[in-house]
Amino acid sequence: MNTVKTTRRLTKDASGLTEAGEILRAGGLLAFPTETVYGLGADATNGMAVAGIYKAKGRPSFNPLIVHVSSLAEAQALARFNDEALVLAKAFWPGPLTLVAPRLPECPVSELALAGLDSIAIRIPASPDARAVLVAAGRPIAAPSANRSGRVSPTTAEHVLEDLDGLIDGIVIGEQAEIGVESTIVACLDWKTVMLRPGGVSRAAIEQVLGHRLDDAPEAQDAGDAPRAPGMLLSHYAPRAMVRLNATDLRPGEAGLLFGPSGLTGSEYAAVTLNLSPTGDVVEAAAHLFDALRTLDASGAPSIAVAPIPESGLGEAINDRLRRAAAPRE
Ligand code: TXA
Ligand code: MG
């Protein structure tokens, strides 16, 4: 069992941020808002602190973590950026893009955070609260989403506390995450630039900056450089309810997750329905996705029926998360 801690609720004013920095430098666990989802941060250079993340999340320890920094110079002290990595960093940082690049020999990040890989995943978040936490900490911060492993990612401070109150040292209370799905992960390795996870920056936006198509990582793991995002377990983001995708109608007692102006037939018999975006806007839908899944799950309905959502723009990341929520559980 995890030891019960008092989880400090910190405001994002100067005194709260000072305490946030102290918690992180002392090897503690701190949840903080970012524009994608809330992160669970620890000093990336402190193996014991990083171990605490895996323990609090109940996460399989083979998942490497994203390391968060506040400037490109700090990122370049950790990894070797090739031309395409630099182009992407300049176009999308700060923002919801994570770049995977070969780590430098002098990279001080703990082996545990890297899960023994030769590459490192780095992100500069855009959220001013997240940047303030990183500056207060003054060192690279490893941070997965601040939920128990396998649960829906948190987009509000309340979501984080539902999962982790008493298991972490503190939380910086901020606004609801603006984007609502995790960062897009792109690996810039010497032989190729590939997408490992769809997320808050659309594939089309990345392809436009690169000037060429962006392939997905090959299914087979290459020996040595593990180009796939190893954390992409199929059954992930799992609500307790069953999830039924591309529903064209609602069955009696089901919860309904709708999209766009046209409802689903059978809505009058549903336990509860929520519309991710009545106007059919995928950006708005991404922002509401995880909160809607939590709310529908809390209704106690045995199954959540989800209306079809287009694949365009952030629709790709939304559908990726929904497919994982619907996958058979291990
Ligand atoms: O938006 C986000 O990215 C959020 C916020 C908190 O920044 N973080 C997040 O972290 O989603 P997490 O731990 O839930 O997802 C990290 C992903 C995993 O799929 C992991 O396998 C992958 O990044 N990853 C980390 N290092 C990698 C590496 N060297 N090579 C390939 N994939 C890597
Ligand atoms: Mg996660």
pLDDT at 193 over 70: yes
| Residue 115 Cβ < 6 Å to ligand 1 | no
Cα-to-centroid distance, 296 and ligand 2 (Å) = 20
Using pLDDT thresholds of 50, 70 and 90, give the confidence band for residue 227: very low
Where does the chain hold its CATH 3.40.50.11030 domain(s)?
Answer: 242-326
Average pLDDT of the chain, as a whole number: 91
Ligand 1, residue 200: give the atom nearest the CA: 1
Per-position DSSP letters for 38-81, written without gaps between them: -EEEEETT-HHHHHHHHHHHT--TT---EEE-SSHHHHHTTB--
Q: Which residue's CA is the nearest one to ligand 1's atom 12?
A: 144
Where does the chain hold its CATH 3.90.870.10 domain(s)?
Answer: 8-234
Lowest-confidence range among 4-8, 77-81, 100-104, 123-127? 4-8
| Pairing between β-strand 242-244 and β-strand 215-216 as defined by DSSP bridges | unpaired
Cα-to-centroid distance, 159 and ligand 1 (Å) = 19
pLDDT at 217: 83
pLDDT at 226 over 60: no
CB atoms inside a 10 Å sphere around CB 101:
25
- Return the CATH fold of 8-234: DHBP synthase (3.90.870)
pLDDT at 237: 67
Q: Which residue's CA is the nearest one to ligand 1's atom 7?
A: 39
pLDDT at 50 over 60: yes
pLDDT at 26 over 70: yes
Q: Which CATH class is domain 242-326?
A: alpha beta
Secondary-structure percent of the chain, ordered helix, strand, coil, rounded to 5: 30, 20, 50
| Residue 65 Cβ < 6 Å to ligand 1 | yes
pLDDT, tens digit, 9 for 90 and up, residues 262-299: 889 998 888 899 999 999 999 999 999 999 999 999 99
Q: Which residue's CA is the nearest one to ligand 1's atom 13?
A: 144
Q: Which residue's CA is the nearest one to ligand 1's atom 18?
A: 231
181/120 Cα distance (integer angstroms): 21
Average pLDDT (10-25) is 97
Average pLDDT (64-81) is 97
pLDDT at 228: 52
